Structure formats: structure tokens, C-alpha cells
Structure 1
Amino acid sequence: MIHKKTRKYIPADLEMKWEALEPLFKDLCDRPINSAHELELWLQNRSELEAAIEEDFAWRYIRMTCDTNNEELLQKFQYFATEIEPKIAPYSNELNKKLVASEWVDKLDAEKFFIYFRGVKKSLELFREENIPIQTEIQVEQQKYQGISGAMSVHIDDKEFTLEQASVFLKGTDRAKRQEVWEKITARRLQDKETLDKLFDHLRKLRHKVALNAGFENFRDYMFQALGRFDYTPQDCYAFHEAIEKEIVPILREQAEKRKNALDLSALRPWDMDVDVSGKSALKPFNGGAELIEKSIQCFTNINSYLGERLEIMKDNGLFDVESRKGKAPGGYNYPLSETGAPFIFMNSANTFRDLTTMVHEGGHAVHTFLTADLELNDFKHCPSEVAELASMSMELISMDNWNVYFDNEEDLKRAKRDQLFDVLKTLPWVAVVDQFQHWIYTNPTHTDAERRAAWIQIYEPFGAGFAVWSDIKEAEANLWQKQLHIFEVPFYYIEYGMAQLGAIAVWKNYKEDPEKGLQQYLDALKLGYTKTIKEIYETAGIKFDFSAGYVKELAEFVKGEMDKL
């Protein structure tokens, strides 16, 4: 069993109520600092308090998403969001001021604290007292997406399925059944279209107000600063989109043509995109959540014993909730528990191949959490998404050599690897579309719902529009954006998947050339947490932080070559 780290500053029995927390923040604000040693101790005390608060919030979020119908769990989450978090914000700002004003700050190890201090200074630049209540409202409002989506279900053959469970039918060989299920899923999503439009319009207006208050022209420019994007600009993102359109879309269009011919169809429709072109039934790598966890432990152990032990620890401590059910929030995540030093994995398994890749993806995040658990400050563990997603996406590819744990049939194993490599390429256009769409949304802050739908289609179609024909189902195409949780809950967190996907391909290429060295470089990079720049972390992994057209082409050709071998 694992336990939270022993507290050195805050009470072991600290109750997570503002009345108990405020004296600790006041102590940190008022405490005299008379030496570099005392400043480091002050930083460690602050870190310990923040870690405890983060873990408490984590459990409130986890429990709420595991059961979105439970009003008590929702209220506990909202209590934190409305009664604790807004009151912490001004104290955090004062603590940041105290830190940068300290006469001892220049006596600390400049290299060790460079990234941390850079982030503190950026937080001070962006902080506005008037944004606290707005950000609180955003926090509460955006969680409504989970409840709306979690309640969605459809009836197929007189049985009720969540949308994740129903999507399994889209892999079946009966085309009429695929179309029936796709239409039911789509109709169910469209049923809540207006509700989600109104929710998003409200969020968009709140976010724009935050940006204006902070002195920015739009929320896009504000978020680039708030996310700490020190290493690239919006223009770099547009260039990345163009590179994906130029280098990746033609490969996927060629694959779509092969799919159409293999299925003997005159045109591909959205319900034709997930069925296996061999005519065989969908891959089934496991049966039930318990088996998924056990097989994943074995897969990770076969790569490296340390990796398998991390998942075993999680299983023994009840840190998984993997099966889909009604009332559970959609999607999947790995949530670090800051004090415990372990994570919680949440997902919606429906016994599909996609669930296997979700598990190894979140397992990569989990390993990252363990590797950074003992870093000196809590903030050192707060990796930017470009690094966090490198951990997870690399594990998807590194783990492939051990997928025989899930498949005892050689042909099924090859099918799985082919599907994974195809998904690696397919991810990139979708990332470009979602990212470009958000650039449009927030740089056109007064747009209408109709303009938003038109913009989505205009952006989606040059990237292949999923390589299916939508001419008679335009309403469904225009509404696809609503299924992307990130747009509602974590705006602008998406381009990182594309950057990390390129990095992951490069990590895997190194791993294939020298498994021991490639794995060690990967783990060494993850151990750094966020104590180095993104570029330095990628270099430690033996790869480049580069998303130029030339690099995209080089890595795409490598993946295509590996697909051809299968």
C-alpha cells in the first residue's frame, strides 16, 4: 500500500475548509525571510500546502466524474470551486510578490529554479483581482459538459448503451447495423446541441472577459501566455497546421481510397471508417476492466519491471476506474495525486482495441507521475502538456512490441499494430482542426452559432473531413466539434497532442534502433518534470522539439514505412 508523504509543515489532520487553510496562507505571507536557506524552506512549506490542496481537489473531481448523477459529489466539487479556490488566488498572488521581491531570491540556484521563477513572474503579469469571480464561474459552468455528456445513451436492439459502448457496433461488419447505430448516436448528440451551444456561448463570453481584463485583445492571446507557451507562437501553430495538411492528409487520403476499394463501396460514409477492411470482426484484446488492468500490468512489466510495478501499485490501491457506465463522465484521464505521489486512471472501457491504447496512453502519464513524485517542489511536477503528452503517446508506441499479451493470434497482433500506426497519423489532422477551430472561435469572439458551424466545416474539410462523404448529413458534420471535451473544459489544450505525437514517433524510432538506450532516454526525460525547458526535455529524450514541414514529412515517412512492413 502507498501513503501520502509525511507532512512537515501543515497539520496531518488539516481539514480542507477555508477557515483551516487561511491561517497557513497568512503565515506564509507574514513570515520573515532572513537567508537563502529560510527562503528555500518557505518554498518547501508553500509547496507542501499546495500539494495537499491539489490532492483534495483531485479526489473531488475524480469522484464527481465517476458518478455525475450524485448531487452530493457535485456539491463537494462546487464547494471547492466557489469557496476555496477563489480565496486562494489573491494569497497566491501575494506569495508570488513576496518571492520575487525577496533579497535572497538571487542567492538560490538559478538553474534549478529558472523554470519555476519564469512561471511565477508570468502569473504575476496575468493576475487580475476582477478575474477571480469570473474564473470561479467558468470552473463551475464548464463541468456541466460532463453531466450533459454523461447522461447520453442510446437503445440498440432493446438494450441501453452509453455512447462509448454503442460505438463498438461501428466496428461490426454489418453495414446496415453500423449506419443504424451511427445515426442513433448522432441523433442523441444533436438532441443536446442547443443546450451545449448555449453553454459554450456563455463560456466563450466569460473567457473573453478574462482576456480583456488582463489587457489582451482576445482569449487566444491570453491563453498562450497563461499556458506558458514560451517556446512557440500562434503563427507557429498555423505553420504546423499547414505542414499536416501538406504531408499527412495525402497519406490518409490514399489509405481511405484503399479502404473504399477493400470494402467495395462507391463512397465512404462516417459509419464505414472504423470497421476492419479485412472483413473480420473487431479486435477484442481483453474481456472486462479487470482483465484490461492485468494484461496492461504484464505488458508494462515485459518492457521494464519498474513500469509494471507502477501499475501493480495502482491496482493494489484502488486507483483505477476503467469501465463505461451510464452517469459516468465521458473520456479518460490520468490524475496525479500530488501528496501521495501516485495517479488515478479514469476511462470508459467498452472492451475495444481503442480501450487498450487508452490504457497504455494513460499508463504513460501514470509512469510520469511516479517518476516526478520526489521532485523538491510541487510546481516542478507541473509539466506543460507538450511534455506530459510525450510521456503518454510514446508509451502507446513503445508498448506495441509487447501487445502479444493482449493478442495470442499473430494476425490480430499485426492488425492491432497497423491500426495503431494509422491512428498515429489520423490524430494529426484532427489535432490541427480542433486547434485551428479554437483560434477562430476566440479571435472572433462575437460570432453566432451559425457562423461557428460554418467555420468548423470550412476548417474541417481541407483536412479530409474524416475522408467520408457528408453531403446529405451536414448538420451532423457541423456539430462534430461538440464531442471534443477539451473545447469546453480545457481551451487551447490540444495542439500539444500533435507536437507530442511527432515527439513520440521519434522516441519510438530511437527505441526500435536501440531498446535499452531509447527507453532510458525516455525515462530520463520524464524524470526532469518541469525543471528544464521543453526543448531541453526533448533533447534529453534523444529527440527534437520541432514541428516544421520537413520534420513532419520525415517522421510520417518512417511511420508509413513501418505500416508497409505489416
Structure 2
Amino acid sequence: MQGKLPKRNEVEKAMTWRLEDIYENEELWEADVKEALSLADKLCEYNGKLCDNANNLFEALKIYEKADLLTSKFYGYAHMRHDEDTANSKYNGMNQRATSAYLQINEKASFVEPEVLTLSDETLTSFYNEVPELKQYELRIREMRRLKDHILSKELEQLVASAGEMGRTPYNGFNMLSDADLKFPSVTDSEGKEVILSNGRFVPVQMSKDRELRKKAFEAFYGRYEEFKNTWAALYDGEVKARIFNSKARKYNSNFEAAVDANDVDPAVCDRLIDSIHKGFDKMHRYVALRKKLLSVDELHMYDVYVSMISDFDMEVSYDEAKEISLKALAPLGEEYLGIVNEAYNNRWIDVIENEGKRSGAYSSGAYGVHPYMLLNYNNTLEDVFTLVHEMGHSIHTWYSEHEQSIWNADYKIFVAEVASTTNEVLLYHYLKDKAKSKEEKAYIINHFLESFKSTMYRQTMFEEFERKTNEMAEKGEPLTAESLSEVYYNLNKEYFGSEMVSDPQIAYEWCRIPHFYYNFYVYQYATSFAASVSIAKRILEEGEPAVNEYKKFLKSGCTKDPVSLLKIAGVDLTTAAPIEDALKVFEEALSEMEELFK
């Protein structure tokens, strides 16, 4: 965590992803952008006559599908090149061009859904009979028609699509300010050594045993965000107003209703989550009290949240060690699954370490027809091992889905997107806990699980409440200012952490740095996915191959059913509160186990 970050060209090639698997050279990228735009123009030739006959519909959808395939490649390549070094002007330009082309294609294709909606069920059935090949697009057509009440006229669909590029401006502005322009001061630790802060290094610094360093870093880091609080507020306000434009245009009652309907999820699923978590505040407050006790502090502050409660034990895990651990932890998923993991390690699917200008955080991405990619900012912590298996879960979900389904049928909904990743995390937790060689190591692993649970089930639900409250404020005409946003966030933080935690004033600005607030109600799905994953991992460890086979069937299903029905394949029923309540019981069991170790 000390010293300068390497420049991109100083990073060892083996630790970078091989984007040449998508395009060997950028001339091929240029060609695909041009071809995709040309296909969009060709698709426009069917405007007004798309549904004149079955053959027209089939040929147009073929063109549309090919344009989507090319877009997946050129957009995926450009955004990953951009994320390698967000200050690189060449790749900034390429990313902007890719985004612009993507939105142009969407705008030109915007007539398709309104015209498909003009078909009667009887006519559509006859079309399937006349051109049997059309059945390959049945799921896509069904999804278009599911949202029939919210699809506009062709002219209005084109207008909404043309506004899409403007609608991305707040998110693009957030990324550029956060990753490229925002520079953090360095701080000194308790021995006077300089520690350079960055978005990627903040959490590892907050995990340091040096409390003086944690406090200084916390205040300096959030102090920097506070300096730009009005800019962050303007960006977030723009994001919410863009959602309001879209939800009103599509005749939804709220931004939240529009977001969950797009994922084919009942809003009651999220309502049950928030209600169950509120009922489980006692467990969260018990966790905070345990943390205060084990850290032996008179006051527990927000800069004490990430450090391990086990003060006399630490784990530093190299990347090579992390790969070995991951293979052992994921062994219950079978040889086929492990084979894909090894392919990822051996064929440079992963961009491993942080460099100057690199996008913060971690993700899984890629291009249909190639293979998934993973971006990491690996810092040799136990948390990084969990991040590795998390992103691997995303990637292998994508791998299975894309090998079994066409591009449109492979695109699983966001609601189930976090299940495979968190299932891997739960399997890793059980493996490490079972293999612990001492009381201290076991406690250290349980500490990590408690922290993960707090971060995923409680924290992400808190994020969801912030997003819902602030969207509702804007929908009522209340201004979203730095002061009003910070007040909402600060009060939620106090409610969730309880009276044993000192909610330092700087934490009021944490909302400024959360990229997921620009993902349109994404965050609650981390919590529902975590609950589902606890159940799935338990079945895999207890039942073995039958449970693994059902789980892999889920991974291969893409978006062939609604998300809640897909989870039922893997044995999880989110139409009830049971998965959330069961997960809270597991959290309580881990709390009791930790309390027992330190009676």
C-alpha cells in the first residue's frame, strides 16, 4: 500500500488481460463499428413494414441480432481499454465513440418493439407456423410484449432512445471525476511513514491495524469527497432526473417501479428485504457491540469498520496463493467448473493489479462469443481472495449462459447476476473456516464472513433505502442537494449501525463515492443474491452432485425464465421472506460462534 502506483506500461503482461482475444488490432474494431452502424441502417429499411409478413420479421430480427453481437464486441473492447487507464485520451475517445455508436444503433432500432406490439397473438402464432426459424426469437418477442403497456409509439421511442446519450452523462461524469481527475492527499502512519491514498487503496488502508493511520486516511479521503460535494450532488441529481424522464415517458408510477419491472421482478421482493432487515437490526447491533469489545476501544468509529476484529492474526495472500485456494474452495462445483477456472487463469482473462488511472473496484465483463474478462485491483488481502472468486462466479455464469444460449437468451437479468458470484464467496468461507489451523485463524475467517454479511445484506439494503428515499424526494419535487443527500445518508447510517457506533460526520459523504447509485436500483439485488447464495452453497455442500447439477442448470438458463422462477431451479424461493430470514439465522450462528471463541 506504500509507494507509487505503476504506470500501465510498467505492469507485467502476465498480470494483464489479453483483449487481443476480441480484436487482434484496432482496424478490426473500426470495421465492426462501421458494420454494426451499417446493419442498423439496413434494419431501418424494415421501418413501417416489419410485421407485414413473417419473413420480414425474421430477416429484421436476424439483422438486429447481428448488430447486437458486433456491439457486444466493439463496446466491450472499448470500455475495457478505457478502464485500463482512464486518463488515456486515445481510449477515452474510443470509449466515447463506442458509446455513441451503441446509442445510435438503439435509436435506429427503436421502431422494432412498437411494431412488434401491433401484432395480435393469432397473427404471431401464424408467423411462427409460416417461418419456423422465427421461433428462435420467441423469448425476445415475448419480452417485448411483456412490457406492452410501457412501450411508446415509434416516434416517441426514437425520441427516448435519442435522449439516451444525454442520460449517461451523470454516470460518465462520476467516473471521470472519481477515477481520472480526483487526486487524494497522502497521509502518514503512526511511525511517520507516508501512505499514498487512492480509491483502490482506501479499503486496504482501512483494514490496517494502525488506528492512527485509519483515522487520518478516513478523514483525508472523505474530506476530499466533501470538497466536491456540490458537484457529486449535481451528478446524482442528473442521474435521478434522467430516470424520472424515462419512467414518466413509459407511464410508470415511480423510478423504482420502472427499474424492477425491467428485470421482471415484483417490487414486493425488495419490500420484503427491507422489512426483514429492519426486523434483524438487533443482530447488526449485536455485531457492532462485538466489534467494539474485540477491538478494545472506548468508542467505535466508522474508521474501525473494516479492520479485522482479530488483532493478533493477519493473512497476506499473494495472487498465486489466491488462485490455489480458489481451486480448492470451488472443488465442490466439479471438474468441469474447475476446468473453466483454470482456463481463466492460464489464458489471461484477468487484469490483476492496480496501476495509475485504472478504474477502481472490480467487475466481470466481456464480449459475447469470446470469453468473459475480469478486472481486479489485487492488493494481497484476504478480501482480494474473496473478490477474485466473486468475479470468477460472474464470469463462469456468463460462460455457461453464453455456451448454452443465443446472445439474446443468454443475457440474464441483473436480479440473478450476483448469485453465482456470492455462492463462490460462501463456498470459499466454508473452505477456509474448515481448514483453519488455529482458534485465531478460525476467528479471522468468521470475522470476514460477518464483515461480508454486514457489507452485503445490511449495507446494500441501506444503499437501497438511500436510493429509494432520494428518488422519492426528487419525484415529489424536493431538491437533491449536497446537504439533503448527506442528511438522508447520515441518518440511515446511524439507524443501521446503532448506538454503539459513533457515526463520524465524514461518513455523511460516503454516498458521493458509490458508483452503484448510478446503476438504477441495482444494489438491493446484492442482498437478495447473498441470501440465495447462502441457501445454494448449503445445498451443494450437503447434497453434492444433485445440487450441483441443479445449480449448473440455473447457470445455463440465461434469461429463459423470469428471475424468481430461475432461482427456483436452484432451490430458492424469493416469493417468501424465508431466504432472507434463513440468511439472518446463519449470520446469528456465526455471531454466536465468534462470541463463544472469545467468552
Give the TM bin, normalised by the shorter chain.
0.7 to 0.9
Secondary structure of the residue aligned to 1:327 is: coil
- C-alpha distance in structure 2 between counterparts of 1:4 and 1:40, whole Å: 31
Deviations 1:116-164 (A, max 9, x none): 3342125663453222232211224412222222244341333423233
Alpha-carbon contact 1:165-1:324 (below 8 Å) kept: no
Cα separation, partners in 2 of 1:387 and 1:110, compared to 1, 3 Å = farther
For 2:226, which of 179, 182, 190 is the aligned residue?
190
By how many angstroms is 1:465 displaced? 6.0
Alignment of 1:15-54 (within 5 A): 15-17=32-34, 20-26=38-44, 43-54=61-72
Quick check: 1:365–1:391 contact (8 Å CA) kept in 2? Answer: yes
Q: Does 1:63 align with 2:97?
A: no
1:208 alignment partner in structure 2: 244
Relative to structure 1, the CA distance from residue 134 to residue 241 in structure 2 (aligned partners, 3 Å threshold; closer, same or farther) is same
**Aligned-partner SS, 2:300:** coil
Q: What residue in structure 2 maps to residue 8 of structure 1?
A: none
C-alpha separation between the residues in 2 aligned to 1:391 and 1:438?
25
263 and 542 in structure 1: CA distance in 2 versus 1, 3 angstrom threshold: same
| Alignment-mate amino acid for residue 232 of structure 1 | D
Aligned counterpart for 1:461 among listed residues 494, 497, 515: 494
Task: Output the amino acid matched with 1:93.
Answer: S
Identify the match of residue 294 of structure 2 among 262, 266, 286. Answer: 262
RMSD: 3.4
Match of 1:367 among 371, 384, 396: 396
1:517 corresponds to: 546
Structure 1 stretches lacking a partner, 5+ long = 6-10
Alignment of 1:124-139 (within 5 A): 125-127=150-152, 128-139=157-168
Tell me the equivalent position of 1:439: 468
Per-residue Cα deviation, 1:439-476 (whole angstroms, up to 9, x for no partner):
12222213231222222233333222696202xx32x1
Cα deviation per residue 1:244-267 (whole Å; 9 max; x = unaligned)? 0112x2112112212212222222
Secondary structure of the structure 1 residue equivalent to 2:418: helix
Indicate conservation of the 8 Å contact 1:172/1:282, yes or no: no
CA distance in 2, matches of 1:408, 1:185: 37
2:570 is matched with 541
Tell me the equivalent position of 1:77. 95
1:407–1:36 CA distance, 2 compared to 1 (3 A): farther
Query: Paired residues, what number?
Result: 548
SS at match of 1:348: coil
Moved more, 187-196 or 21-30: 21-30
Q: 1:555 to 1:141 in 2, by over 3 A?
A: closer
2:106 to 72, 79, 89: 89
Matches within 5 A, 1:339-354: 339-340=369-370, 342-354=371-383
In the TM superposition, residue 478 of structure 1 has moved relative to its aligned partner by 1.8
Q: Does 1:306 align with 2:340?
A: no
Once the two structures are superposed, what CA deviation does each residue of 1:50-75 show, in whole Å capped at 9, x if it has no partner?
12212211111111122110111111
Superposition pairs of residues 461-500 of structure 1, within 5 angstroms: 461-464=494-497, 468-470=501-503, 473-474=504-505, 476-488=506-518, 490-500=519-529
Q: Give the secondary-structure state (helix, strand or coil) at the position aligned to 1:395.
A: helix
Query: Is the 8 Å Cα contact of residues 298 and 308 (structure 1) preserved in structure 2?
Result: no
Find the aligned partners of 1:544 and 1:421 in 2 and give their Cα distance. 24
The answer to whether the Cα contact below 8 Å between 2:58 and 2:133 also exists between their aligned partners in 1 is no
8 A Cα contact 2:313 2:440, kept in partner: no
Which of 520, 530, 538 pairs up with 2:559?
530
Amino acid at match of 1:553: E
Tell me the equivalent position of 2:351.
Answer: 321
Deviates more, 1:500-509 or 1:89-98: 89-98
Q: Summarize the Cα distance change of 1:105–1:463 in structure 2 as closer, same or farther, 3 Å threshold.
A: farther
Q: d(CA) in 2 for partners of 1:258 and 1:478? A: 24
Amino acid at match of 1:304: G
Query: In 1, are the aligned partners of 2:353 and 2:378 still within 8 Å (CA)?
Result: yes
2:351 partner SS: strand
User: How far has the Cα of 1:221 moved from its partner?
Assistant: 3.3
The answer to whether residue 586 in structure 2 is matched with residue 553 in structure 1 is no
Query: In the aligned structure 1, how far is the partner of 2:384 from the partner of 2:145?
Result: 40
Alpha-carbon contact 1:336-1:343 (below 8 Å) kept: yes
The DSSP-based 3-state class of the residue aligned with 1:373 is helix
1:98-109 matches, within 5 Å, as 98-100=115-117, 101=119, 103=124, 104-105=126-127, 107=129
1:149 aligns with 2:167: no
- Quickly say closer, same or farther: Cα 1:565–1:448, change in 2 above 3 A: closer
Q: Deviations over 1:489-542 (max 9, x none)?
A: x12111111111111111122123213222222111111111012232112102
Check 1:139–1:259 CA distance in 2 against 1; reply closer, same or farther (3 A cut). Answer: same
Deviation at 1:95, TM superposition (A): 2.9
351-360 or 444-453, larger mean C-alpha shift: 444-453
Q: 2:203 aligns with which of 151, 156, 167?
A: 167
Shift of 1:31: 8.9
2:143 aligned with 1:119: yes
CA distance, structure 2, for counterparts of residue 44 and residue 563 of structure 1: 54
Q: What are the residue-to-residue correspondences of 1:210-229 with 2, within 5 Å? A: 210-225=246-261, 227-228=262-263
**CA distance in structure 1 between the partners assigned to 2:404 and 2:113 by the alignment:** 20
Distance apart, 1:386 and its partner CA: 1.9
Q: CA deviation at 1:193?
A: 2.2
Q: 1:335 Cα deviation (Å)?
A: 0.7
Does the aligned pair in 2 maintain the 1:383–1:529 contact within 8 Å?
Answer: yes
CA distance, structure 2, for counterparts of residue 12 and residue 172 of structure 1: 44
CA distance in 1, matches of 2:311, 2:571: 40
Q: 1:23 to 1:505 in 2, by over 3 A?
A: same
The alpha-carbon deviation at position 113 of structure 1 amounts to: 6.3
Are residues 1:388 and 2:417 paired?
A: yes
On the 8 A contact 2:186/2:197 being kept in 1, the answer is: yes
1:212 maps to a residue whose letter is: K
Residues 37, 432 of structure 1: alpha-carbon distance in 2 compared, 3 angstrom cutoff: same
How big is the shift at 1:426? 4.0
Structure 2 residue 363 is matched with structure 1 residue 333:
yes
Give the letter for the 1:554 counterpart.
Answer: D
**Following the alignment from structure 2 to structure 1, what is the Cα–Cα distance between the partners of residues 543 and 220?**
48
Is contact 2:50-2:57 (8 Å) kept?
no
Task: Give structure 2 stretches of 5+ with no counterpart.
Answer: 1-17, 23-27, 188-192, 595-599
* 1:246 aligned onto 2:246: no
Q: Deviations over 1:149-182 (max 9, x none)?
A: 2244341333423233243232232322221222
**CA distance in 2: counterparts of 1:424 and 1:166, whole angstroms:** 20
Q: 2:51·2:115 contact (CA, 8 Å) conserved in 1?
A: no
SS of residue matched to 1:344: strand
Q: Which moved more, 1:428-437 or 1:87-96?
A: 87-96
Contact 1:66 1:329 in 2 (8 A): yes
CA contact (8 A) 1:237 1:495 kept: yes
Q: 1:534 to 1:305 in 2, by over 3 A?
A: same
Question: What is the rounded CA distance, in whole Å, between the counterparts of 1:2 and 1:199 in structure 2?
Answer: 31
Is the 8 Å Cα contact of residues 269 and 469 (structure 1) preserved in structure 2? yes
2:7 corresponds in structure 1 to none
C-alpha displacement at 1:413, in angstroms?
A: 5.4
Instruction: Provide the C-alpha distance between the structure 1 equivalents of 2:89 and 2:254, rounded to a whole number of angstroms.
Output: 35
CA distance in 1, matches of 2:345, 2:560: 30
Which shifted more, 69-78 or 425-434? 425-434
- In 1: Cα distance, 2:141 partner to 2:376 partner: 35
